[in-house]
Each structure stands twice: as structure tokens, then as C-alpha cells.
Amino acid sequence: MVKKSEQEDLVNDVESLQLAQDERIFIKASNLFVKKWSKKEPNFIEYFQNEWLTTHNACYEGVGHFTPSTNNSLEATNNVIKKEHTLRERLPLSRFKVLAFEIVEKWSKCYERGLKKYNYKQTISLELWTTGYQWVKLNKSILSTECDNSIQYYIPAGDETKITNVGIDVVKKMRWYTLDQYKKKHSLSYISSETCRDASQYSECSTNKDCGCFPLATSDKSGICGFLWVACSRLDPCQTPGNTCEKLDHKCVRHPQCNSAPVCYPISMIDKQICPSSEDTTSPSVPNNTICTTATWSRQGISVAGGFGWGNALNQLYYPMGIFVDVNRTVYVADTNNARVVKWTQNATFGQIVAGGYGVGSGTAQFYGPMDLVVDKDGAIYVTDNLNNRVQKWNRNAQVGQTVMIVQRPIGIALDGEESLYVSASYWSKDLLKLRKGETNGNVIATNLPELYYLFAHQNQSIYAADKNNGRIYRIDEKKGQISVIIGSLQGLSATQLGYPQSVLVDGSGAVYVVEYGHHRVTRWLPGANAGIAIAGGRSQGYQSDQLNFPTDIAFDVDGNLYVADYGNHRVQKFAIDKSTCR
């Protein structure tokens, strides 16, 4: 498929993609890779995009830090089974059963009489030991900066020994315009750690309950959040005086369970990849930073939840409607026809039921038409239980929900920065209600409205709502008591008209994102624009990766990647953002 003269260079480029340490870098580098090779090897690029950038896109190191990069040991075992037992043949069940017993009997016995024994410790070759020793002797410089509630460590990678703030800026802003620039300048490893202030020894600091606070040896009031169960034998005492560590990739902390004196803790074990912050486990489904006006999104979506047809298995959804994405890129789905809420962590193959799942009903562990949901900072899930005329709250790890509002046919729900809930009633009253944190009764803040679907609470203290049946987007200013139509007047197919808008979201710049249920697309309306731009779907109704089938809701993750509830295809699609044109 690939010219022989190009093979070595292309393989080298693919390997450089696999070293990407996070999704943003992988997407940027992949775009540069495609740009470089699309004219030279168009057939290969078409295959590569379909197979490794769309279908199996978790092929880089940053997908799972501190986990094995390959399944070599599994494949080696599989190879032995095929060579010594099945001879790569398909066997009748009766014969396979006999062979299975033989394999178990043979492998369960100790290896003797010259047969190779199993290794219970990792075997490291002399060559690898030598390479590691030479790397340590390079005496690399490590820069650390404190930002908000975290400490960020920057370590020069490869043969680089020094790093500057300019080099950090290049990597953080991904200022690469060719793949070769990426390969040359992407010589930086990055670790971010949560800080602890005025916290007690080993106190909780993360959503990972195996993490705790380690006070710094140089300060009684500050510390770092790290994995608690690193073997004490791996931790060397800190050097005195000064409480420093000989190994540059270690931090001097107090760890009395291991040693009464301060010890050197590996930086790799205080990474937020292992110990995510407990203070910001959720987000209002908007990115951390404003999305620039020239940003685009991949037209090819990938399924991050469902996608295996309709059903109630843990890898399936059945007409999903509302979605929510937290800062860890965990996707929460109101799986409407399955009467449950399912959580899908990043790169998960199966979902986890976190609310409902006991069939349709009105019990405290049941739903009857869950339509929308939000998640607060404590991990509690709020769900509009439409046909039960209530809003249910499920605390983290709860087995049952509790009713926090009685609402006639609630549809949309939103959560503002003060953790007040907003709910749209759809049956008789068609009101917009607000429940302030700590209160038990909701108040009507707008009435005599059209039937509003999904809501968005913006930081400018306005509520945005989708008027699905009239093709309009409303902005409701609670303080001023003003209600205005910001997009739409008539249903239609043109770029200036909306087709049954069901959900709306607004980013920090004021750009409005609309889910058009009837047009099978998501459109972006920049401030002052008279027409929207399709950023997902819009290529007719369908099930292909660039199509949607009656989409119902959207969310963003912290990087600006777009998630869409693809109702008719029983899946949630993710469309990766491309910020390469941003300046």
C-alpha cells in the first residue's frame, strides 16, 4: 500500500503520534500527519483516518497513563495456546473442553526439569538498565510552576536536558505548523498535581479515594495530593540539610506511615491523571476557555457511549436524550427508554448505571421518562423525571433518589454557578422554575411561556431556552425580568432558520450552539451573526460517523470537544475540536 521508499519515514511519524501525552496534542499532531501524507499516500491516509483516527482512536500514550501500552503478554500466551494445543484450528466444543482441562492442568503445576518458570517480577534487560542510567545521568532540569490549586511540573524529554519558559509556551499553545516541528519541539513531559492547603496528613483531596494529602517537608501549611499506596521500600529519605531529593523527579514530603523523617515521593504518583481534583469533578458542560471564532470540529464523530444499536446492555442505549460531561470527560446520559442514567468514563467500552435501571415506575429507584440531567460539584445527579412529574436527586453512589421538586411534565434542567436549579415545565403551566441551593420550594421566575425544552444557565446570569415547536431560542434575564428571542422566527431549512431546536448552549465569547432536532445537525451562531454554521451533522439524516439522527442535546468538555446525544442512533457522538487556526 505504501511505497517502499516512504515506509520508514511514515512508520517513524506514526510512532511520534503514539507518544502524544494527551488528546489535544494527539488531535493536533494527527491533523499535521494527515496534511503531510495525504498527497503522498492518499490510500493509506484514507485507511488510517477511518481505522485509527475514527474507529480506534485510543492509540496514543496519553489515553491511559501508568497502564500497559500493549497487550504483548496476552498475545504471547495466545500464541502458545495456538502452537501447542489448537494448532490454529477451530475446534468442536467437546474437543476444546478436553484441551482446556489439559492446559489448566499443565499450567497449574510448577515448571521443573528444565522447563521455563513464570516470572513474577518484571525482567529488565541490561540494555534497558544502561539506557535508563544514561538518562538519569543527563541531570535534566525540571521547572515547576504553581497555578491556582495545582503544581505543574515540566520535564525535558528525549535527549533534551534543559527547558525554558519559551519552550513550555510552545508546547502549551501547540505552535506547530508541520509534523516535523511537532516531532522536534514536542520534547517535554508534563505533570499536574493538585495542591493541599491547611489540610491534615492523608486527608481526602481527590475523587480517587486511594489518594491523600502529603504535607511538603518545607512547609506545614501546603502539600500535594498523591497516591497513598506506593511501597515504602521505594521511598528514599530526603537529603539534609534542605530537605531535597537526589532524584529530580521526586518531591520531599512528610509520610509518617513509612518514615518519621521526610521521604522523596515520585512525581509520577502525584499526577492529576491518578488523583483528579475533588473540588471540580463536574463542569457546566462548557470548555475552560473561550473557543476562538476560527475553531472547527471534526466532521467525523466517534461513539463514546452506546453505538451498538438499541437495547439495555451496558454497551447500549435506548433513545438517549440529555447528556452532561464533567471535567474528567465522563459522560452522563439520560437513557430515556431504559429508564436509567448511565455514566461512561473516558475511553470506556461499557457504561455504569448510576441512577434508575429498575424498569419504568414511580418508585424511589425508578424513572418514567428521564429527559435531562445535570451533575453538581458533589457528584449529585439531578434528573427531570418527566412522566412522574418530579425532579429527582441522586447523591453520589446512592441506591435511590429523592424528590426535590414537583413539576408538571418537567423537561429541561440547568444548574448555575450558585448551584441553583432551573427547570422548564411543559404540560399546563409552561413555567420556568428556580430552586435555590438549600431551599425546599421552587419559585416561578417566568410564566406564560411556550413549551421550553432544554435550558442553559449562562455566567451572565441569563437563562437560555430552546422553543422547539416554534423554532426559536429565548434568553430570559431574571434580574431585569426581560424575555427576548435571540435566534429564529420561523421553522425552515435555510441557514437563518432553525429546525425544531431542542437544546442550546452558550460559550464564554457569547457564541450560541443549537441542537436542531429536525435538521439533524448542530449549528454555531457567532455574536452578531444572522446565520448559523453547521459544526456537526447537517449531511442528511443517517447513521454514518458524519451524520446524526434526531439529535437532542449537546455538551462540551474542558478542551472544547463537542458531544452530541444522537437520539435516533442510540449513541453519544464526540466531535474533536481543532484549534490550529486560533491565534
pTM: predicted TM-score of the whole model, two decimal places: 0.60
Q: Is 219 inside a domain boundary?
A: no
Q: Is 288 inside a domain boundary?
A: no
Q: Are residues 45 and 132 in the same domain?
A: no
Task: Give pLDDT, residue 496.
Answer: 57
Q: Are residues 93 and 52 in the same domain?
A: no
**Interatomic CA distance for residues 179 and 184, integer angstroms:** 9
4-18 and 23-37 helices, crossing angle to 10° = 170
Task: Give pLDDT, residue 149.
Answer: 59
**Interatomic CA distance for residues 583 and 64, integer angstroms:** 30
pLDDT-derived band at 249, boundaries 50, 70, 90: confident
Tens-place pLDDT, residues 335-389: 999 999 999 988 888 899 999 999 999 999 999 999 999 999 888 999 999 999 9
Q: What average pLDDT score do residues 225-251 get? A: 87
**Interatomic CA distance for residues 341 and 338, integer angstroms:** 9
Q: Are residues 133 and 26 in the same domain?
A: no
Query: Average pLDDT, whole number, for the chain?
Result: 83
**Interatomic CA distance for residues 134 and 435, integer angstroms:** 61
Q: Are residues 30 and 133 in the same domain?
A: no
Q: Are residues 482 and 552 in the same domain?
A: yes
Identify which of 7-11, 94-98, 115-119, 404-408 has the greatest average pLDDT: 404-408
Task: Give pLDDT, residue 280.
Answer: 47
* pLDDT at position 421 over 90: yes
Q: Are residues 525 and 438 in the same domain?
A: yes
DSSP result, 272-284: TTTS-BSS-S---
pLDDT-derived band at 544, boundaries 50, 70, 90: very high
**Preceding amide of 241 cis, omega within 30:** yes
Instruction: Say what the alpha-carbon torsion angle 71, 73, 74, 76 is, to the nearest 10 degrees.
Output: 120
DSSP result, 109-166: SPP-TTPPPPPSS----HHHHHHHHHHHHT----EEEEETTEEEEEEE-TT-----HH
**Closest to 388 measured CA to CA, from 440, 336, 433:** 336
Q: Is 359 inside a domain boundary?
A: yes
pLDDT-derived band at 530, boundaries 50, 70, 90: confident
Question: Could you give the percent of the chain with pLDDT greater than 90?
Answer: 36
Contact 456, 414 (CB under 8 A): yes
Give me the CATH number covering residue 352.
2.120.10.30
Q: Where are the alpha helices (DSSP H) in 406-511?
A: none
Task: Give pLDDT, residue 147.
Answer: 58
Q: Are residues 498 and 387 in the same domain?
A: yes
Contact 254, 214 (CB under 8 A): yes
- Return the H-helix or E-strand segment holding 435: strand 432-435
* pLDDT at position 231 over 80: yes
Cell of 133: 542510567
Contact 359, 339 (CB under 8 A): yes
* pLDDT at position 279 over 60: no
Q: Is 76 inside a domain boundary?
A: no
Q: Is 333 inside a domain boundary?
A: yes
Least confident of 45-59, 259-273, 295-309: 45-59
Of residues 255 and 489, more confidence is placed in: 255
**Interatomic CA distance for residues 324 and 555, integer angstroms:** 6
- Tally of domains within the chain: 3
Q: Are residues 520 and 438 in the same domain?
A: yes
Q: Is 37 inside a domain boundary?
A: yes
pLDDT-derived band at 261, boundaries 50, 70, 90: very high
Q: Is 65 inside a domain boundary?
A: no
Tens-place pLDDT, residues 134-151: 767 777 777 776 655 567
Distance between first and last Cα of the chain: 37
Burial class (CB in 10 A: 0-12, 13-18, 19+), 306: buried
Q: Is 196 inside a domain boundary?
A: no
Identify which of 96-100, 506-510, 546-550 has the greatest average pLDDT: 546-550
> What's the domain range around 327?
296-578
Q: Which residues pair with 151 in a beta bridge?
A: 146, 193
Cell of 548: 446524526
Q: Are residues 35 and 97 in the same domain?
A: no
pLDDT-derived band at 568, boundaries 50, 70, 90: very high
Q: Are residues 410 and 512 in the same domain?
A: yes
- The 8-class DSSP code of residue 575 comes to E
Tens-place pLDDT, residues 445-502: 888 889 999 999 987 679 999 999 999 999 999 888 889 999 986 555 455 578 999 9
Of residues 347 and 330, more confidence is placed in: 330
**Interatomic CA distance for residues 501 and 569, integer angstroms:** 18
The residues, ordered by sequence, that sit 6+ positions from 90 with a Cβ below 8 Å of its Cβ are: none
* pLDDT at position 281 over 60: no
Of residues 333 and 107, more confidence is placed in: 333
Task: Give pLDDT, residue 108.
Answer: 63
Beta strand 402-406 with 390-394 is: antiparallel
Cell of 420: 441553583
Evaluate the CA torsion angle 103, 108, 114, 119 in order and state its sign: positive
Q: Are residues 387 and 309 in the same domain?
A: yes
**Interatomic CA distance for residues 28 and 121, integer angstroms:** 38
Q: What average pLDDT score do residues 163-189 get? A: 70
**Interatomic CA distance for residues 187 and 177, integer angstroms:** 16
Strand 571-575: give its sheet, edge to edge: 302-306, 571-575, 562-566, 551-556
Task: Give pLDDT, residue 288.
Answer: 56
Q: Are residues 93 and 45 in the same domain?
A: no
